[in-house]
Structure 1
């Protein structure tokens, strides 16, 4: 039997108080990892999640930071490395939300916010946590991208611009740090069912699902499972990958 055991590993998940982030945090904790739960404003949800993880017998730190600000990210790093000495797995999940509209109508500030939360966040996280990974000759950096990066539908421009920029950073970083046994990969969810959908009974969307080869929306747990795989030794020879988890709705081509 093959199982995933992250016992002894530490993980940081940005945006862990959000819809997808909280499931990733629980999943890595259930696999044995100690988890740092990052939040920006939702302290209550982060502290509730911390209690859940500690109830599983794992260590957990709830840490506030602005992931677009270098000083704030450095302060988060100093706290985490001060308490745990090492972060083995970094999951960059946080993103700034905004209202989508056409290129002509989208405020310029939305493009700036997407650059900051999609590109700059990952640069700052890499600068903060990868040097220690290089010293230990091991590490995992996992970014949450999106199927929108391949769709390029009307109204998606700011989000797509940020996430495609993120993709470039990840591909270059994978080549730069691979010699140190550090993998750098991306998970690209489709339109995912989360707790919000379950609470509002909005899990079913026939219009979207009809275009998906598997004829359904994915779940937050299925996204977290992909993150768990990339965090584990089972993915030790995978780096630089953009992995859609969307039932085949988009398919990277050779």
Structure 2
């Protein structure tokens, strides 16, 4: 048994980010063609395109502001012009901001999280789901976070945005399920990325002590889960929120 995405095309928003790059490489290794979304980092997008094309797949770069509906629809037109159809959408992009207490957090930070966690997914659904309905096939995969369940101090804007995203995804799963479109979320823990490897911050003992597996996950762990959900192996899974965090959160029935 192996994951084969040959003949499928995947759009990854925020593909040049720490997790997005590993997702792109992993999905390309599974045979998927790629639409590499970026906002500003064209150089990194170009590097990722060249790297994944060496794996024998097609890849195109598309610049877009995922918080702007017109920009998302332009991305759709460019992506479908290059690739004809988009089978799988991975919503990975998120706006970064400085975390602080609710009393000190700027209202604009709450707005930014609403835009990138909720409206991004509304625009992506409006742009790409109609084509999936026509083809009776599709995968929508959103990157959520363990923070949605931890509700730790100083995370209110991020948690509010991602919890809203969770509700949106569950409703969308019910609305499009009859068309054989699955809608799922991956919720990473505090994940090791290239930034940690470069900065020597791989070990975080204060965090690891509370994780049942007593370690942090790797970016590859997140990418592996995305690849599984993108594949036919997960064809009967929808509406799921899947933690990839070593048991740091455990959703209850």
> What TM-score, normalized to structure 2?
1.00
Q: Deviations over 1:158-186 (max 9, x none)?
A: 00000000001000000000000000000
Mapped contact 2:91–2:143 kept (Cα < 8 A)? yes
**1:208 counterpart residue number:** 207
Distance (Å, rounded) in 2 between the aligned partners of 1:21 and 1:191: 15
Distance (Å, rounded) in 2 between the aligned partners of 1:241 and 1:48: 33
Distance (Å, rounded) in 1 between the aligned partners of 2:48 and 2:82: 19
Distance (Å, rounded) in 2 between the aligned partners of 1:166 and 1:9: 25
Runs of 4+ in 1 over 3 A off after TM superposition: none
Kindly state the Cα deviation for residue 44 of structure 1 after the two structures are TM-superposed: 0.7
**2:80 counterpart residue number:** 81
In the TM superposition, 1:40-55 aligns within 5 A as 40-55=39-54
**1:61 counterpart residue number:** 60
Distance (Å, rounded) in 1 between the aligned partners of 2:60 and 2:130: 21
Kindly state the Cα deviation for residue 84 of structure 1 after the two structures are TM-superposed: 1.4
**1:174 counterpart residue number:** 173
Mapped contact 2:118–2:161 kept (Cα < 8 A)? yes
**2:217 counterpart residue number:** 218
**1:139 counterpart residue number:** 138
> What TM-score, normalized to structure 1?
0.99
In the TM superposition, 1:1-254 aligns within 5 A as 2-254=1-253
Distance (Å, rounded) in 1 between the aligned partners of 2:82 and 2:130: 17
Distance (Å, rounded) in 1 between the aligned partners of 2:30 and 2:166: 27
Distance (Å, rounded) in 2 between the aligned partners of 1:54 and 1:212: 37
Kindly state the Cα deviation for residue 252 of structure 1 after the two structures are TM-superposed: 0.3
Superposition RMSD in Å: 0.4
Structure 2 counterpart SS, 1:154? coil
Kindly state the Cα deviation for residue 85 of structure 1 after the two structures are TM-superposed: 1.4
Distance (Å, rounded) in 2 between the aligned partners of 1:193 and 1:148: 16
Kindly state the Cα deviation for residue 208 of structure 1 after the two structures are TM-superposed: 0.2
Kindly state the Cα deviation for residue 81 of structure 1 after the two structures are TM-superposed: 1.1
Distance (Å, rounded) in 2 between the aligned partners of 1:41 and 1:211: 36
Distance (Å, rounded) in 1 between the aligned partners of 2:81 and 2:131: 12
